[in-house]
Amino acid sequence: MSDTSRTPSVDTRDTRDPVSPRDAGTSASSATNRLLWADCAKGLSIIGVCYMHVVTGVPGGTSTAWNWFNEFMDPIRMPLFFVISGLFAHRVIERTLGDLWYRRLWFLLVPYLVFTPVQAGIRLNMADDLSWASLARAILLGDPGIWFLYVLMIFNILACVLRRIPPVGAVALSFLPALVVAVAGWTSYPEITHITQYAPAFFLGLHFRHLFFRISAYAGNLAVVATSVLVFVGWEWVYSLAADYVRPDGWSTGEASVMSLLALVRIVTAVPMGILVATWISRTPGLSTGIAAIGRNTLPIYVSHHAALHLVNNRIVPALIESDPVLWGFLGGTNALIITGLLTCAVTGFLFYLVGRTPVLKWVLHPPALPRRADTKDREESRVRVRV
């Protein structure tokens, strides 16, 4: 079995699941034994993240027809990402913290430390709060720009620490921090809520992975589809009513806490819908190839697109319009800005994909493994081979 933690992205190879890839409606390749629907789920999630940053970054973008996909993906994109991360992190609980550092955390930490100062610097500069102290704080506490890698490191450590806790107990514990944050009124601190809000999704994927494989396996079953759609639409309706009730005058601390708890339920109500969509995509020739390719390369897209959008929207486009309003004035329109933003994400993601394949330069995304003592490495690998 290959070492799957050499890259920071979620590996969707060997699953050890009772549902076979064929039963799950996948096209697992014999060479790498990847689950196609899981790759499509990751691709769908990162597309949703980019789309959100594009639409919400354009003035008036959320009031246009472009926003429907953003609204649909809002409860799905990040919970689905973390469920898939947990789904294929099961070997984490088989390892010591030392082995976890060499096999996984190192490969997450390097791109985090490379790209976070850039993204944090942009955000802090826009807020007129850029200083060495604020930059250090952003890096140490998980800046909102590249927070996914930061939180994923924490979740992997927690999974390893809690590996002797029964699955139900571990999942129950994963919900506890979100309840504490809501009661304490700390929902305005994204450094905290990024961890507490998505921990249940990761631990559900880790410990109840067979349930998510079952959902994919029965993606063509009418009862499963109808139930998933009704649960998804029903809770989104409840959540929307609650949001509309408190939003007109802004959310108080108490109302924000209540909304955070309602959002927590969306993990259970929205992720099955996301898995169904990913599975349907995986069964669609042509479309599955493109979405799965994106899903296998989420890291270069994730770390690059946000800064690129800032550069294009706040520097390049305004400069072009100012240089020749007649020629470039159309770029200031809402539709043009959104299309330009989507193209920016695609082009930048591809460029950084090429960076990830360039000798030496690729280490910013995929660093070389740290040297280890031979006896320790052999002992750890032997133990993993026996258990896996």
pLDDT in tens, 144-178: 889 999 999 999 999 999 989 999 999 999 999 99
Domain presence at residue 1: no
Domain presence at residue 2: no
Q: Which has the closest alpha carbon to 122: 142, 145, 103?
A: 145
Domain presence at residue 8: no
Q: What is the mean pLDDT of residues 265-276?
A: 94
| Residue type at position 100 | L
Selected residue with higher pLDDT from 273 and 241: 273
Residues whose CB falls within 8 Å of the CB of residue 339, separated by 6 or more in sequence, listed in order: none
Cα(339)–Cα(192) distance, integer angstroms: 33
Domain presence at residue 266: yes
Q: Which pair of structure tokens corresponds to residue 89? A: 């992190």
Cα(356)–Cα(362) distance, integer angstroms: 4
Domain presence at residue 343: yes
Cα(10)–Cα(366) distance, integer angstroms: 13
Q: Which pair of structure tokens corresponds to residue 125? A: 């500069």
Helices (H) and strands (E) in the chain — how many of each? 19, 0
Say if residue 194's pLDDT is above 60. yes
Place of tokens 């070997």: 91
pLDDT class of 97 with cuts at 50, 70, 90:
confident
Structural domain harbouring 84:
36-387
Q: Which pair of structure tokens corresponds to residue 321? A: 């319009």
Domain presence at residue 188: yes
Give the model's pLDDT for residue 250: 63
Judged on CB neighbours under 10 Å (0-12, 13-18, 19+), 137 is middle
pLDDT class of 215 with cuts at 50, 70, 90:
very high
How many domains are contained in the chain? Answer: 1
Q: What is the pLDDT of residues 297-338, one digit of tens each?
A: 999 999 999 999 999 999 999 999 999 999 999 999 999 999
pLDDT class of 94 with cuts at 50, 70, 90:
confident
Helix (H) or strand (E) holding 279: helix 253-282
The neighbour count for residue 106, using CB atoms within 10 Å, is: 18
pLDDT class of 7 with cuts at 50, 70, 90:
very low
Say if residue 57's pLDDT is above 60. yes
Give the model's pLDDT for residue 382: 41
Are the C-beta atoms of 296 and 39 separated by less than 8 Å? Answer: yes
Domain presence at residue 132: yes
Domain presence at residue 29: no
